[in-house]
Structure 1
Amino acid sequence: TTPPAKYDAAGGSGLINIKLKKAQGDSWSLALGSSHLRRYDEGETAFTSNFMYSKNKLSLSSSLNYRDGGETFNYQDYNSFPNELWDTKQVFNRGYKRINGVFGLQYIATPNWTLGFQYIANFNKTNSNRNTRSSVYNHHTDVAFNDIISFTTADQKPDFNSINLFNEFKLDTVKGLIALPKLKKQTALKLPGEYNFDLPEFNSIDWKLPNSTKNKKQFFSAQSMHSFVFSKQHQLLLAGTAEGILHIWDVNGSSSPVQSIQVTNNQVSKIVVKGDKAYVFSVSSNIAVYSLKEKKLLGNLQYIEKEGEQRLAMYTPDKYFNLDPEAMDALHFTKQGNVFPLSSYELQGNRPDKVFKALGFSDAGYIETLNKSWQTRLKRVGVKPSEAFLESRGPEIKWNRDELPVILKEKNMKLQFSAIDSTHASITKLLIRINGVPLKGREGISIKMPDDTIHFNESINLNQGKNIISVIAINKNGGESVEQTHEIYYLPEQKQKSKIVYIGVGVSQYKDATKNLVYAAKDVNDIAARIKNYADTVEAHTITDANATKLQVLRIKELLKKTGEDDVVILSFSGHGMIDTTAGFLFAPHDMNFNAPTQNGLSMTMIEDLLDDIPARKRLLLMDACHSGEQLEGLSANATLPEGVKEVGTRGNETLKKKADKEKENERKGYMAMKELFGDFSRGNGAFMISAAASNEFALESKQWNNGVFTASFLEALYEVKDKSADKTIKVRELRK
């Protein structure tokens, strides 16, 4: 029997293949298969049968397949217009019954003459219906004043029958061969020598004998196969099904797959083998990467269309992911019937180091740098690394979001929820964020009387337009709840005017005149002048030279506490930057003691504190100073100047050390990883940061630009990004580029 008794079947499919042979030329085989696929309330049942009989010169083959199933899709869209909000819900149901069969007869009249025929029948019955309801709300009254309901049905019966006849003659003249070959099937895979395969039916692949129409072996599947490929190096045959399953056969083994693995959620359209990897393409722009050597799925690449552009997401079988930050809301996790956004697991699950290593896309040096980038990020926000990020190790949030409104015309909203810890560990802190900005500062809300059950009931102010509210509870052991989110729109009767509050600190003239710069003070004045064109109201403040002492800079906090929730705050620093072995990055104010920099130097923590716990939720920090970027955990801040650039033109002050080119490149890539892979999701004070240099790099100034290079680039980018934007808005992510 095939498969042998030791075969261990898996899943909801069964396969019986009975094969008896009387002689080499006489044989028959029968294969029966069934499967059941469950999709929530719908499912699909399939039955397949394949029969082959060969006796002397006559060969007969037949197959019959039956599929009965259905599927349901639910959609919900929100469309906001100046005076209306459309809430559209759509339910699409589709049911189908499909029967297809093939009967073939072939007769070898002589060694040079073969004739036969094939009959193909396909009967389909598909019925579908689509129920759509759009509720139209008035922005001013929050009342649905109109319902638009539509219902459509469709019944289809695309049937077809075909009969194919063929004759094949071979004329041998003086050992030369003249042949009238039979028509090639589109499903054939013909390789030099003995490896010739054919997919005449959906449920079996034929391995042909060399120079013959007879089969050497057949490989069976309980699901319909649509594409296949053979790896001679690994002696493996791979085929993809309509359900996204990849079957793998050892061609020297049995007719049953040695492995069947779900690699994608949609039909496999193409399989390509490159070296030790197979790339499995689906009809939904998903690419699965399978290791032929290790016989396991390495990961998936998914292209997502976002705002007219293709964004790339990558993820591994153990749920680690890395994707374009702007596509974060396109994917989600499901757990016990609940849907959670990827942002709920982003701190621990966004692991480009693990994804790149699994897919084999980078060398060991860069993967180590990515890991250090991740460690640096977690250390910065005070979170311990975890390898079991999907497991619940903390409290549970009880928040009845179904009763919350979709839109509000009032700025104030009552936020009510409970947090419960089943392990009876006291809950000590809450992290509540609105559009990524924490309430009460980056440390969160401390619970005055910690308990294993706490109730939160307070009013919060919303931002104009969309508000994504997220809640996390943390117990005394550091265990976090799964982040719960809710999206709500605040649409006031009269749209508020835009406002920018710009504060620039620039130091060209230092108390120690030997450290003077040329353009630092001019930089912040130029930004202040340019930024006035980008909002209805612009409040610009500059603190330069002798006025930019440490004490005066720290007083900026008093001004920022007077801002409003919808204000845009831009805080920029231009001057010397230094690295201290204990304090890290320090910005040099006017009264900086360069021999003892920690006395009056402004640390990155001090600068971040200026933007922490202020009303304004749109915050941008610009740092035009040497070493102002993230310093990766475990990597040094030593650097070399670019070739042809003199030290006097930099905004730094320390001895330079030479580094190997490869080490510098890995650290540079690590800095870029911090900016591009993590930058939009830092759980700090909610501010975006754009810096002139990484921790091991220099910021430059020159007469050529009449500014610092960073400031000159920023001023130019303000023009370019706004001109290219369809709605004339400026996105921080575009400025970073």
Structure 2
Amino acid sequence: MIFLISEKAHGQALDLVVQRGHLFPVEKLCFHENNKFLASKDARQNIIIWDFMLGKEIVRFKDTSNVVAMDFLAFKDVLVTFNESGFIKYYDIESGDMLYRIPFNAEVKKIIHFNNNVLMMGDGLYLVDFESEEITKLTPHNFEDIKFSYSNYKFVGYTLNSEVIELDTLMEETKRGFLSSVDYSKLFQKNKQFSPADKVRADLVEMDAKNQTFFYLEDKFLKQTELFTGINKLKKNLHVEPNCMAVDDQGNYLVMGSKDGHTFLYNLKESYMMESKTHLGTVNDIEFSRDGRYFASVSDDYSVIVWSTIDGKLIHDLKSKALPVYGLDFKEESKTLFMAQDQGMVTVIDLKSKIDLPEKYHQTDHVGVVSDIKVAGSKYFTSGLDNTIVSYDIKTHQKLDETKLDKKNESVAETKSYGDEFIYSIQPSFDQSKLMVFYGTYKDDNIVQKLKVVSTADLNNVVKDQEVTSIEVPEEFMFPGSEYYYLPSFNYGSWGTKNYVGWISKKEFIVSSENTFALYEVKNGEVFEKEPMVQLLDEVTAVVKPNASQFFFSMGKALYSMKDYKEENVREINSHQDVITDLISSNDFLFTSSIDGTVKIWDKQIEELIATIVPFVDNSMLIFTPDKYYLSINGAHQHVGYKMGSEFVPFENYDLKYNRPDIVLKRLGLSEEATIHMLEKSYEKRLRKFGFTKDQITNTFYIPTVKIENKDAIPLISDKSNLDLDLKIEDENMNLDRLNVWVNGVPYFGMNGFDLKANKSKKASKKLNIGLSKGKNVIEVSAINVSGGESIKRKIEIFSNQDVGERSLYLITIGVQKFQDPSFNLNYSVKDATNIHDYFIGVNFDHSYDFKLLNEDFNLTKLEELKTVLKGSKPQDQVVLFIATHGLIDADFEYYFATSITNFNKPSEGGIHKSVLDNLLDSIPARNKLVLFDACHSGEIDKEDVVMAGQVEKDENVTFRAAGKTIKYGDINVQKVAELEELLFEDFRKGNGSTIMTSSSGVEFSMESEEWNNGLFTYALIDALRTSVNKEDVENLFENVFQKVQDLSKGNQTPTMRSFNKNATYFIK
């Protein structure tokens, strides 16, 4: 997680947070009382606090000793932990600080929150008072485990000798028994005394405090037994051995995690089990939320997964998004940045790519830490602690060669977990024909350093292999004209960093070692210390000397400069959030990398930070400036947000202010002016679309708050068909503009929300009665103020068992192929509409209402009549809208669907504007809406500053469903404009909740041909519908359509999924 310079919102610090996740096996987790937070702890004692509902990292803490227990306080944003060194620690989530550290001289096995105090379970039960820090021993019982039942306010626990004890809140014993699988009454009838042989012998025991039973494993059988009677309640055969299990507080569900990554959800009331294989390693811990709505599991695969108890479906998969960066290189001519990262990742970023946006490439040929990366001619080389070297082509990024130095050495996945040998640094010779490989062997806490020299043309060709000293380095690796080379050594005090060596001239070089660095020169064949050694307070990880009087060096987390080699001229410039691992210099910039997962770009002339790059594992990338302006490529904004107090605020809540790629690219100074100007104009357009001006987007950018007042009264499962919501909306500084409510991704008040602006008030309240769909209902609420600031979304989930009655299909198929100007006639549009109609009319619904609008029937009057019909639909109903005709763009870059009377020279005359069809499906009861467009330019397009130029070139066997022109923006092709828009910007106008598939992107043309006897998109769609296995899997359907269209069009037509409602339920088969 990375924090940047703070702003204020609601009077609190607003810090940027980058999602890093865990990079080591995750061992423990716990839920906050009201599902506000989730905490997870890994093997390196990193504790991450997650915003539970959003699934986002808020803050992280690190302990120096193994954390054995943790829990949240009930009514404060505080996490309490206990470590093996004997300290209780209180961490404040809002400030990110440790509040208290209290010594505790007893073993602690478990922490249980009790209001704002905690109970420590050790050789007795101890009460720790939050305010006074006093510790009171309440009972001497040495429990192995204890639980509290909120239904009867009793504690129940069992001891090492299998005694079962019930205690009230005054710690008075109210019941006692034995943890046994033998019926007590039968023992007593035979006058047999209870003996150790009757005790349960199991490593895994889980208690149900409410129902006073316990679960355990015996000979691969899951058993449930009453705590105080020994009566067996359940015996179930399991095909795997669980490693952990938990029971929810209501005693309705049991969850288990296994060593092979399986999770099991067992409904105890209805006696059925759901199984999932999502983790890739052992499940180490699994826990329910306090209300039983959710459970979470953590694993050796570094992941934290959150599940819905209602249906067993995955909600959040919280894996690492940003990885440590251990090595850097830069190619000046192409402005290409090379990064060596963790988990085998290599990232290459072209900072001046062909579309004038940074372009990113990934390599994943190493296992574990990639220790170094170097450019040599037309290749770049990587080394890893897995003892492997790989080479790549610098232009195509194709892997060229690979070698493993020690063929017997096992691959490794962690920094300190390597075999006999590991490579920590590589360096090409000055003629680039050879590669010097520095490697070592870890023996008895010491590293024996060695050198191999291999050919860059053939990595398996070993030229030299020996232990070396500082003057035994081959001549071709010396600075040209020099006789000496100083060998870099691996620093195993701070893993992943290397002592630094750099030649400045033929007679001068600089060396850093631990907390010192020094400048040396060569005179008459001998090495002399040119200047006194500089002594510093922390480890120096890298040094560069870009000119005669200026040094830059990294020490710990910070970057420093030093003028004229004088200690009094040392100045801290800025810092990372973790240790800096590498520092390199180019003509204009300095680059630093860090374990915090970022690379920072610095102006070395004025010694200031220009921008920070965060490459994410999903091929997205974020570049942001110190004042928070950002450029987000491929959805990188999903991995970042703001910490406001103890809450996570998604990026899009401030996107109108900070999503400024034009500013970022201008600061970097590597892009064309035309690109920057176009992006600036795009930003202004987005403001106008959302109804704001630049003057309204100020530095005091406040957001409202929304509270669901009756949230605690909403049940997990309901038999009712409606849900009452009591909402309170407030903004401390700005008047309110609108209220947004979504039910399963569909806007309850329509795309524009419920108007609050007319009230001219900072406060509002609203009571709603929302109709529920059968099954899971996801309800989200947010508010927007008059400055465009959107509140944090509040979300609840409720499962409805209601009998919703009959389910209907509303099928609308539109096809136009005859036009007033016959030169624009199409051949298959009507057939396309008919084929889609015939397919969907055969899907099994209770009722089907079909509407064919063919040729002249496609008009505004018919659409208005349809709107009236659709308003009579029900939430459980499904609407399918299909349209096949010409797609037209006018001189103002507005999009129209062609009717039979459209003037193709002026599409607004007789054409149907795209917004008409958007509004057709808006504000109707039906929540399952599927839209299919087989027309040109049907993807997202932009309208301003575009001119029409040039004719479409047609194949004699293919007809294009578009009229007239290709499009250019000045000297920039519109495809480039569309690519930039798609890469960088979110759609601020909330959709109507439909899933929309389009036949082509916003700048392509859709095809029809006699070969397919249909439009290409429709042909592929019908084929995919007929061969689809899962009748509800729309994502898989689109993937099949996409691949077929790409193959048949030879890449010239690209279907798009403009929007996807993951909460809708579609029947397509």
Fold match by TM threshold 0.5: yes
1:702 and 2:1012 aligned: no
Distance 1:720 1:372 in 2: 45
Residue aligned with 2:984, SS: helix
1:363 and 2:648 aligned: no
Alignment of 1:88-107 (within 5 A): none
Residue aligned with 1:473, SS: strand
1:230 aligned partner: 544
Paired residues of 2:725 and 2:767 also in contact (CA < 8 A): yes
1:61 aligned partner: none
1:456 and 2:766 aligned: yes
- Residues 522-574 of structure 1 show CA distances to partners (whole Å, capped at 9, x for unaligned) of 23334445668999889665432243233223333234334444656443322
Amino acid at match of 2:1056: R
Bigger RCO (CA 8 Å, 6+ sep): 1
Distance 2:517 2:671 in 1: 36
1:586 aligned partner: 896
Residue aligned with 2:685, SS: helix
Amino acid at match of 2:579: Q
1:675 and 2:982 aligned: yes
Paired residues of 1:208 and 1:217 also in contact (CA < 8 A): no
1:285 aligned partner: 597
Amino acid at match of 2:1014: N
Distance 1:721 1:217 in 2: 75
Shift of 1:360: 4.9
> In structure 2, do the counterparts of structure 1 residues 563 and 148 end up closer, same or farther at CA, with 3 Å as the change threshold?
closer
1:612 aligned partner: 922
Alignment of 1:446-525 (within 5 A): 446-447=755-756, 449-461=759-771, 464-465=775-776, 467=778, 469-474=780-785, 478-493=786-801, 502-510=811-819, 513-525=822-834
Distance 1:658 1:334 in 2: 42
1:268 and 2:575 aligned: no
1:573 and 2:887 aligned: no
Q: 1:376 aligns with which of 661, 685, 690?
A: 685
Shift of 1:433: 3.8
Shift of 1:403: 4.5
> In structure 2, do the counterparts of structure 1 residues 653 and 325 end up closer, same or farther at CA, with 3 Å as the change threshold?
closer
Alignment of 1:120-159 (within 5 A): 136=248, 138=252, 144=292
> In structure 2, do the counterparts of structure 1 residues 581 and 669 end up closer, same or farther at CA, with 3 Å as the change threshold?
closer
Shift of 1:641: 3.9
Amino acid at match of 1:376: K
User: Comparing 543-552 with 212-221, which one deviates more in the overlay?
Assistant: 212-221
Paired residues of 2:656 and 2:697 also in contact (CA < 8 A): no
Identity, % of aligned positions: 20
Alignment of 1:247-396 (within 5 A): 247-250=560-563, 252=565, 254=567, 256-263=569-576, 265-305=577-617, 309-323=618-632, 328-360=637-669, 362-385=671-694, 388=697, 391-393=700-702, 395-396=704-705
Paired residues of 1:498 and 1:535 also in contact (CA < 8 A): no
Distance 1:339 1:483 in 2: 11
Distance 2:711 2:536 in 1: 44
1:246 and 2:566 aligned: no
Gaps of 5+ in 2: 6-44, 56-70, 73-78, 87-105, 113-245, 254-266, 270-289, 299-443, 449-467, 473-482, 491-498, 1043-1054, 1058-1069
Residue aligned with 1:314, SS: strand
> In structure 2, do the counterparts of structure 1 residues 129 and 501 end up closer, same or farther at CA, with 3 Å as the change threshold?
farther
Paired residues of 1:546 and 1:590 also in contact (CA < 8 A): yes
Paired residues of 1:421 and 1:453 also in contact (CA < 8 A): yes
- Residues 214-269 of structure 1 show CA distances to partners (whole Å, capped at 9, x for unaligned) of 361445554444x3141535865444454x43333345554553333123x23322
> In structure 2, do the counterparts of structure 1 residues 182 and 668 end up closer, same or farther at CA, with 3 Å as the change threshold?
closer
1:414 and 2:724 aligned: yes
> In structure 2, do the counterparts of structure 1 residues 614 and 397 end up closer, same or farther at CA, with 3 Å as the change threshold?
same
1:189 and 2:493 aligned: no
> In structure 2, do the counterparts of structure 1 residues 511 and 196 end up closer, same or farther at CA, with 3 Å as the change threshold?
same
Amino acid at match of 2:971: E
Distance 1:421 1:658 in 2: 44
Tell me how many residue pairs correspond in the alignment: 604
Gaps of 5+ in 1: 1-10, 12-69, 81-87, 98-126, 151-159, 171-178
Amino acid at match of 2:784: A
Paired residues of 1:408 and 1:489 also in contact (CA < 8 A): no
> In structure 2, do the counterparts of structure 1 residues 679 and 422 end up closer, same or farther at CA, with 3 Å as the change threshold?
closer
Residue aligned with 1:635, SS: coil
1:649 and 2:963 aligned: no
Residue aligned with 2:813, SS: strand
1:74 and 2:387 aligned: no
Paired residues of 1:269 and 1:283 also in contact (CA < 8 A): yes
Shift of 1:612: 1.8
Paired residues of 2:958 and 2:1009 also in contact (CA < 8 A): no
Residue aligned with 2:948, SS: coil
Distance 2:795 2:1018 in 1: 36
Paired residues of 2:621 and 2:634 also in contact (CA < 8 A): no
Paired residues of 1:473 and 1:481 also in contact (CA < 8 A): yes
Q: TM-score, normalised by structure 1?
A: 0.66
> In structure 2, do the counterparts of structure 1 residues 441 and 728 end up closer, same or farther at CA, with 3 Å as the change threshold?
closer
> In structure 2, do the counterparts of structure 1 residues 499 and 679 end up closer, same or farther at CA, with 3 Å as the change threshold?
farther
- Residues 674-727 of structure 1 show CA distances to partners (whole Å, capped at 9, x for unaligned) of 33433566434444655556776644433344333444565677799999x999
Shift of 1:345: 2.0
Residue aligned with 2:675, SS: helix
Distance 1:396 1:498 in 2: 37
> In structure 2, do the counterparts of structure 1 residues 567 and 645 end up closer, same or farther at CA, with 3 Å as the change threshold?
same
1:216 and 2:531 aligned: yes
Task: Write 1 or 2 for the structure with the bigger share of helix.
Answer: 1
2:143 aligned partner: none
2:332 aligned partner: none
2:870 aligned partner: 560
Shift of 1:445: 0.9
- Residues 354-399 of structure 1 show CA distances to partners (whole Å, capped at 9, x for unaligned) of 3444445643323333333443344334343468566335655456
Distance 1:689 1:374 in 2: 25
Paired residues of 2:558 and 2:574 also in contact (CA < 8 A): yes
> In structure 2, do the counterparts of structure 1 residues 128 and 421 end up closer, same or farther at CA, with 3 Å as the change threshold?
same
Amino acid at match of 1:551: T
> In structure 2, do the counterparts of structure 1 residues 573 and 271 end up closer, same or farther at CA, with 3 Å as the change threshold?
farther
Alignment of 1:622-633 (within 5 A): 622-633=932-943
> In structure 2, do the counterparts of structure 1 residues 315 and 236 end up closer, same or farther at CA, with 3 Å as the change threshold?
same
> In structure 2, do the counterparts of structure 1 residues 730 and 530 end up closer, same or farther at CA, with 3 Å as the change threshold?
same
Shift of 1:518: 0.8
Residue aligned with 2:950, SS: coil
